[in-house]
A and B are shown apart, each in its own frame.
Chain A
Amino acid sequence: MMTLTATAHMAAWGKWLGDALGTNAAGASAGNALFGIFLSLVVYLFGQWLFKIGKGFFLFQPLFVGMVLGIFILFLFAKAFGTDTATFYKSAYLPGGNIIFWFLNPATIAFAIPLYRRNDVVKKFWLEIVLSLIVGLVISLFVIYYVSKLVGLDNVGIASMMPQAATTAIAMPIAGAIGGNTAVTAMACILNAVIIYALGDWLVKFFHVNSDPIGAGLGLGTAGHTVGSAKALQLGSIQGSMASIAVVVISIVVDIVVPPFASMMGLI
């Protein structure tokens, strides 16, 4: 034992840690899920703490802090293990991350509850809701198309930006069908949620969105997906209900509207 050098120590520790995290060759596919779950919890709780002591500074929103810090920690670990961040993410973080990610299924279904609680509004305004989402999406698509052109995105980039109003699971295959990059679209959907989560309150105030509670709900649900619905619930029960219906209806509208729009604009 006395002959063990510092480097040997390091190697032993490295092997132990690699085994535990599932990053060593043998364990690459059967990684330890606990690391991903633990890391997600730690970075999110750190974000909550930072948000509290930062007196609610918008960049300290727990989801945003958790995301940035989580990626940074994975980047450092990957450096330490001598792999690239993407590989380390897949072998060490993803098994645990997927377990948490799975719970978005029941969480999304749960938005039927605030929707049903304001069924009176849904029954009364269903036609306005559907028309607003269709017309609003078409107008937004034109704006997003020309903004993308303006900043110099190529056709693949533009096609990836088109379906982002839909929930990720719908947006990705649509992006693929119109010649976009599905990973970029997934990134757009995630950033939509993060942006609404971080800037939502400020945007609602700045653009006087809440002057019409039905519009505020539909807008938040469209722009921020399920996170937007959670934000809308904080504004009121009508907003929450409208955001929940927007998440479903806008996804179906994207399904129908975006492919013909893309071919009209010459993307496919």
Chain B
Amino acid sequence: MAANDKATKTETAKEEQASPILIQMGIFAAILFVSSLISPLFPATFPVPTPVIGLVILYILLASHIVKLRNVEKFGDFMISLIAFLFVPSGIQLAASLDILKAQGVQLVVVILIATIVLLVVVAYTTAGFIWLRKNVFHRDVNVEE
């Protein structure tokens, strides 16, 4: 009996343990592969790139409990922690378009700077507005746990 107890205990401990990193990478690779097969099915006028499909697929898999957090968490959090570094080549990519910057550079950078701030502020306040409507007009619950 005691031995049996011990066996179940180690099994539950294993249940909560993170999957080996290669398995986690394998799950990401499989999702990416399937996404890359789905992406070209969208018409050229309505492009949906591979990583966007992949994000949706992983979310669906997590929400339907087919994939557990412990199967993907470790590798996923690691990738997210690298995101600023992964954007360095995109930033350096501007080296290829220095001639565009020479022609209209100042205007473009000004518009992009303003656009970034506008998108942040407008979307944030629009959301606050809709949440206000939900609370004060439709009288629905707006509380969220921190």
Contact check, B128 vs A212: say whether CB atoms are below 8 A apart: yes
Contact check, A100 vs B86: say whether CB atoms are below 8 A apart: yes
| Min CB–CB distance A101 → chain B (angstroms) | 5
State which of A85, A116, A177, A197 has its C-beta within 8 Å of the C-beta of B84. A197
Known: A63-B91, A153-B108. A101 touches B97 (CB 8 A): no
Which of the segments A1-9, A11-19, A135-143 contacts the partner chain? A135-143
Question: Does A31 sit at the interface, judged by CB under 8 A?
Answer: no
Question: Does B122 sit at the interface, judged by CB under 8 A?
Answer: yes
- Which residues of A have CB within 8 Å of B94? 67, 71, 187, 190
Q: Mark A160-204, 1 if CB is under 8 A from B, else 0.
A: 010011011110011001000101101110111111110000010
Complex interface residues of chain A between 120 and 156 (CB less than 8 A to chain B) = 120-121, 124-125, 128-129, 131-133, 135-137, 139-140, 143-144, 147-148, 151-153
State which of A41, A124, A128, A170 has its C-beta within 8 Å of the C-beta of B130. A128
Looking at chain B, what size class is its interface with the partner chain?
35 or more
Q: Determine the distance from Cα of A109 to Cα of B98 in the docked complex, in whole angstroms.
A: 31
Interface size of A in residues (CB-CB distance below 8 Å): 120
Question: Does A21 sit at the interface, judged by CB under 8 A?
Answer: no
Question: Does B21 sit at the interface, judged by CB under 8 A?
Answer: no
Q: Determine the distance from Cα of A187 to Cα of B57 in the docked complex, in whole angstroms.
A: 28
- Which residues of B have CB within 8 Å of A101? 86, 89-90
Contact check, B84 vs A227: say whether CB atoms are below 8 A apart: yes
Known: A108-B54, A151-B110, A170-B52. A187 touches B47 (CB 8 A): no
Known: A112-B59, A191-B109. A222 touches B121 (CB 8 A): no
State which of A71, A85, A135, A222 has its C-beta within 8 Å of the C-beta of B120. A222
Contact check, A106 vs B55: say whether CB atoms are below 8 A apart: no
A residues whose Cβ falls under 8 Å from a Cβ of B: 36, 39-41, 43-44, 61-64, 66-67, 70-71, 74-75, 85-86, 89-90, 93, 96-98, 100-101, 103-117, 119-121, 124-125, 128-129, 131-133, 135-137, 139-140, 143-144, 147-148, 151-153, 157, 161, 164-165, 167-170, 173-174, 177, 181, 183-184, 186-188, 190-197, 203, 207, 209, 211-216, 218-220, 222-224, 226-230, 233, 236, 238, 244, 246-248, 251-252, 255-256, 259
Across the A-B interface, give the 10 residue pairs with the lowest CB-CB distance, nearest first.
A67-B91, A169-B49, A219-B124, A215-B127, A97-B89, A136-B123, A110-B76, A108-B51, A112-B58, A223-B120
